[in-house]
Amino acid sequence: MMITKNDWLAAAEAYMADERERLGELPTPEEVVAYAHGELDENAANRVRAALVYEPALTDLLLEDVPDNVVPMTAPPRRSRQWIAAAAMVVIAVTALFFAQLRNPDGPAQTLTLRPSEYRGASSYRQTLVAGASRYHLSAPVFADRTYSSYRIALVRDGETIWDAADLQREPDDAVHVTIPGRELKPGKYTITLHGLGDEEPELLQTYAISVHSPQ
Amino acid sequence: MRGHGIRRSVSVYSEMRERLSEWFPTYRDMLVRYVARNFRTLSSDDGQDVVQDVFLELQKKSPPVREGAESLYLRTAVRRRALNLLRARAAHQRNVVNMPERDDPPRPDEELIRRESNADAQARAGAAIQALPELTRQCFLLRLHGRSGAEIARVTNLSEVAVRSRLNDARHRLRASVGELPAGVDWSDLAEGNE
């Protein structure tokens, strides 16, 4: 008699349940991070690997689209051409930034990692920036386990979107980065929204509150 | 020398506490939603408690977490705590509530598996799975659950070439032991010549 897919799945589940029982304690976060970086000895790595395979609720940990600078244990072949191209792009970007800075008479750029405006214990969390910068480099950490094809960051003032940037990508540091021209951020209070874009309606992932103060 | 070491430990500890205080507002809500998405049997209060407990424990231990690995660390910590909560509840139900192990009607998918399967076939499949070498078995089980070669490589920390080799090995061994290839498993990414 032929063994159906369901027979295989039932047999696999029985085997995996036994293995979960045998493994006992789940691996600690420290062990999983070390495993992802290929730093565990063979026995410890085998134990973490087994937990990731036999405990389905853990399997996705290393598959979620948040690279965490993971270096696989068996390093893939170096792609020297890609590295050279990446290095060349960095040089071009730095040079372009340098000349853009020369052309721009305004103050230097400001950088800010955005934090959500709402969280337990604080009715409103508002970050501050100082007006007068040539541009503002903002980073919005993304923690949605769902992957979107792109992201949109919008600058809202008095309920009206005054500036936005779409087609943004989640970068390897698990954040979406955007540069807002300095002229858009005059002194006042703003809300910044982060949306995930895909086939469906844009999904609001996070809002951030910021205040822009006049320079002293 | 020793004093210097202690000073360094204190500095690492306080640096970590400072990073933790930044993580809470940044990650808290995101982690609560993460628990809700991945553990649908837990209530929203459970999700909030899980995340709160993770941060309380972090605050107590202030473990050194490498830069750039915060997300993986936190996701593992909340999944681990959520799983432990579910396991504890299941154990509680088994031990404290004196009821038959299975009184409620099986869910439709379980019913389907039961109807379409039989004990003998499962025993043959189980024996074949058990006879596979450990890594080959792990690659096969992931493939059986629909994982791609790249995904299996990430979970097992093997290269994709090594994964394909293990899957080929599984294919040979399973066919030899049960006389047929496992039904419904996609082998299309393996070279025919290697079979």
Determine the average pLDDT of the residues in B122-143.
95
pLDDT at position B114 is 60
Q: Each residue of B28-84: pLDDT tens digit?
A: 888 998 898 888 888 889 999 999 999 888 888 878 888 778 888 999 999 999 999
Q: Does residue A49 share a domain with residue A13? A: yes
Integer angstrom CA distances of residue A152 from A142, A192, A207, B82, B153: 12, 10, 12, 31, 32
Q: A64 and B75 in contact by Cβ < 8 A?
A: yes
- Percentage of chain B beyond pLDDT 70 is 77
Instruction: Provide the domain limits for residue A57.
Output: 5-62
Contacts of A4-7 with CB under 8 Å at 24 or more apart are A4/B116, A4/B117, A4/B121, A4/B183, A4/B184, A5/B182, A5/B183, A5/B184, A5/B185, A6/B112, A6/B113, A6/B116, A6/B117, A7/B116, A7/B117, A7/B118, A7/B121, A7/B122, A7/B125
Helical ranges in A37-79 per DSSP H: 42-54, 56-59
Q: Where are the domains of chain B?
A: 2-95, 108-194
- What residues contact residue B185 under an 8 Å CB cut-off, 6+ apart? A5, A8, B143, B144
CA distance B4 to chain A (A): 26
pLDDT at position A106 is 54
Using DSSP's 3-state secondary structure scheme, residue A91 falls into helix
Whether A72 is covered by a domain: the verdict is no
Chain A CB contacts of B134 under 8 Å are 46
Q: Which member of A29, A69, A76 has the closest CB to residue B76?
A: A29
For residue A67, pLDDT beyond 50: no
8 A C-beta contact, residue A182 and residue A106 = yes
Whether A18 is covered by a domain: the verdict is yes
Integer angstrom CA distances of residue A142 from A148, B37, B95: 11, 15, 41
Q: Which member of A76, A115, A145 has the closest CB to residue B26?
A: A115
Q: Does residue A146 share a domain with residue A57? A: no
Q: Which member of B83, B112, B141 has the closest CB to residue A26?
A: B83
Chain B CB contacts of A32 under 8 Å are 72-73, 76
CB of A95 within 8 Å of a chain B CB? The answer is no
Rounded to two decimals, the pTM is: 0.57
CB of A22 within 8 Å of a chain B CB? The answer is no
pLDDT at position B60 is 82
For residue B194, pLDDT beyond 90: no
Considering its fold, how many domains does chain A have in total?
3
Q: With cut-offs at 50, 70 and 90, classify the pLDDT of residue B116.
A: low
Q: What is the dihedral of CA B166, B170, B171, B174, to 10 degrees?
A: 170
Using DSSP's 3-state secondary structure scheme, residue A139 falls into strand
Whether A69 is covered by a domain: the verdict is no
Strand pairing partners for A192?
Answer: A155, A208
- Percentage of chain B beyond pLDDT 90 is 39
Q: A14 and B118 in contact by Cβ < 8 A?
A: no
pLDDT at position B88 is 87
Determine the average pLDDT of the residues in A17-26.
90
Q: B117 and A7 in contact by Cβ < 8 A?
A: yes
Give the number of C-alpha atoms closer than 13 A to the C-alpha of residue A126, restricted to the C-beta side.
Answer: 12
For the segment(s) B108-194, the CATH number from 3.30.479.30, 1.10.10.10, 1.20.120.550, 1.20.120.1200 is 1.10.10.10
